[in-house]
Structure formats: C-alpha cells, structure tokens
C-alpha cells in the first residue's frame, strides 16, 4: 500500500510535513518527471523555469496553496521551482506527448445513492499514467479534513473531504491548450477539496481560466454528480441521469466537443467510455464489487479500462493503471488498489484515520 502521510497546521507547516515525511518519494517524483520531460525534448532546467512562471498565478488564485508548495520544498530540501514544476506538470508537459500514440488515460464513474447498493454515493476511477510513477505515490491526509491519493510533492489529485465531496481527474486535450496561463489543474483539485458540494464546486469554477484541458468528475454525499469539463475556452458542466455518470478522456458536452484535439490520438477513450456505460447499465444498482468489476475490465487488451503496460513501448510512454480508487463519500472511506487493479486487492483508508472494515 502507498504510505499515508499525515499533515496538520498552517499551510506552510502542512507542506513542510508533506515534504519531510515523503522526502524520498518527492525525489522519485522529480527524477521521473525529469526523464519524462527529457523524453519530450524539454530539459529539466526549462521545466523548472516554466514551473516558476506559475508562481504568481497560484499565489493570486490561493495564497495558502502557494505557501503549502513552499513548505513542501522546505521539508523535502528541494528548490521551490522544482515543486512548482511538479504541480504544473500538466500545463507544461508538451502537448506532443499527450498526442503520441494512445496516451489517453483514466476512466472514472460516479454512482448516485439511488443506484448504489451501499445507499451512499460512490466515486471511482482508474488512474492511468507512467508506471514508474507508482513508486512516487502517497496518500496525503489532513485528518477529518481531506484525503487524497497524489504524487509526492503535488498538492492533490483523486480525493474526498469531510463534507462528503470528492473529485476524480481525466486529462482532456483541446486545440486551444497551452496558449494562456491559468489555474493549474492539480492546484485546482486541492482547492476543490475545500468545497462542500457539487453546487459549490460549479460556482467556484465558473469564472476561472485554465491553461490545459481536464475533466473533473465530482460528486457529493447528497447524490449530486457532474463532470466539469475545463479548457482555455471555458468550463462546461456535464450531468448524468441521476444514477451513474462516466467519463474518460474526451469532451462529452456538445459545444466543448468542437474544442477536442483529433480523437485519432486517443484511440481508447471512446471504447472505454462505451464499456464503462455498459457496465453501468448492466444492473439497476451497484455495490463495491460491481465497481471493482468495471475497474478491472480487460476486455480490450492493452487499451482496456484496466490497463497493463505495453512492453513494446519506451518506459516513458508505457501507460498503465498505476492505481485504482473507489470512494464512499458519506463514510469518508477510500478503497485503494495500489497497482493494476487485476493484480491488487482494494484496501480501505479512512479520512478519520481509524481502521475500517473492508
């Protein structure tokens, strides 16, 4: 299982604890991204320079989160521009990487209470990314506030909070990406973990601008679920039918679809969405085992919902399911499979920090 890193206190202190307690994994994260950027033709010095260029953007958006990033740098004994580069990796990663072969990643689903055998909202996803980064992952917990599965040195990714609100992430690609500076998506995810509901999240993101496109599938304990499709052209809200909502790596909103990069570069995103929807429609109600079955689907081989690495590709391009997560939002419990989900069992981690039954 990934290490659970406990943080508390003021923003800088939270960051310092994160950096100090996950120092080795922060180092792995930085080394992995230095190699990945080099694979894309971007030197680490240039990546740091570009990361530093977002310092004021982040500080203006949320000064406390910039303090937390500075604390991570202090605790991990790294430069602030290195930690900034990690937190804006989506915005500075060359679009050519995301458009080379089938690098589309991640399948997410929300199950609303009326369709849930547990009686509460379920929010889940497979996180598909470069396999080497698995050794840099952590569970970051501010007890009774938020719990997130993230990359060491980064503020947040997949997570839930004490209000029963949760977020997942799907990378999207638009023809308008990287033409402006906006809020980095991993910084946004941490800010969203301060929100209390889907409605709150919709209002919060209404007037923000973005550098790169992303889909944030979010849900709350009351059963509301939407996908926030974000791009430099704006934000669109995609709703389901009140039972389930699935998302992969292309725009679903009709207007936003016109912003989509050519889908030929994302060969698996449409069939993965269709497969997820088939699973969702196969029964009127879904329990944890049903969601696990969806996340373990390997029916399309190397480009399935559950993705194994393709050994024919270079390591830097070898996308796989590095982890899988199912969140019970009302209970404040995250079930985590710390590997390709067909190769690992899901283990529960509680927001409150107490042991829970599987």
What does the alpha-carbon distance between residue 63 and residue 254 come to, in Å, rounded to a whole number?
Answer: 35
The pLDDT score that the predictor gives to residue 316 is: 84
Residue 97 has a pLDDT of 66
Burial class (CB in 10 A: 0-12, 13-18, 19+), 159: buried
> For residue 304, what pLDDT is reported?
94
pLDDT, block means (10 residues), the chain with 358 residues = 97 98 98 95 96 98 98 98 98 71 79 97 97 97 96 98 98 93 98 98 97 97 98 96 96 94 78 96 97 96 91 87 98 98 98 72
Q: Residue 55: which residues within 8 A CB-CB, separation 6 or more?
A: 66, 80, 84
List of domains in the chain:
102-350 (3.60.60.10)
Secondary structure (3-state) at 33: helix
Residue count of the chain, please give it.
358
**pLDDT confidence of residue 353:** 84
- Helix, strand, or coil (residue 165): strand
- CA 30 to CA 53: how far, in whole Å? 18
Tell me what pLDDT residue 265 has: 58
């Amino acid at each position: 299982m990934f290490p659970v890193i406990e943080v508390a206190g003021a923003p800088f202190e939270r960051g310092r604890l994160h950096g100090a307690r996950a120092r080795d994994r922060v180092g792995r994260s930085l080394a992995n991204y230095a190699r990945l950027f080099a694979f894309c033709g971007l030197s680490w010095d240039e990546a740091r320079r570009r990361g530093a260029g977002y310092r004021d953007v982040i500080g203006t958006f949320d000064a406390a989160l910039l303090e937390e990033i500075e604390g991570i740098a202090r605790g991990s004994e790294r430069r602030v521009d290195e930690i900034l580069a990690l937190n804006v990796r989506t915005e500075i990663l060359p679009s050519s990487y995301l458009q080379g072969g089938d690098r589309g990643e991640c399948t997410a689903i929300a199950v609303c209470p009326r369709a849930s055998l547990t009686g509460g909202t379920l929010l889940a996803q497979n996180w598909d990314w470069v396999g080497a980064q698995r050794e840099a992952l952590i569970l970051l917990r501010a007890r009774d506030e938020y719990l997130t599965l993230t990359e060491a040195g980064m503020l947040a990714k997949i997570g839930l909070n004490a209000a029963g609100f949760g977020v997942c992430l799907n990378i999207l690609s638009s023809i308008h990406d990287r033409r402006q500076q906006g809020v980095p998506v991993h910084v946004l995810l941490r800010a969203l973990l301060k929100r209390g509901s889907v409605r709150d999240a919709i209002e919060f993101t209404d007037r923000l601008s973005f550098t790169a496109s992303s889909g944030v599938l979010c849900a709350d304990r009351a059963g509301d679920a939407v996908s926030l499709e974000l791009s430099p052209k704006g934000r669109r809200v995609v709703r389901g039918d009140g039972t389930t909502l699935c998302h992969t790596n292309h725009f679903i909103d009709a207007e936003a679809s016109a912003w989509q990069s050519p889908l030929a570069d994302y060969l698996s995103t449409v069939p993965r969405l269709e497969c997820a929807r088939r699973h969702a429609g196969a029964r009127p109600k879904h329990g944890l085992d049903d969601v696990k079955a969806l996340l373990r689907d390997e029916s399309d081989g190397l480009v399935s919902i559950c993705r194994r690495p393709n050994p024919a590709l270079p390591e830097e391009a070898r996308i796989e399911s590095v982890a899988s997560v199912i969140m019970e939002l009302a209970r404040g419990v995250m079930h985590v499979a710390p590997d390709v989900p067909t190769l690992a069992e899901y283990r529960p981690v509680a927001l409150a920090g107490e042991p829970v039954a599987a």
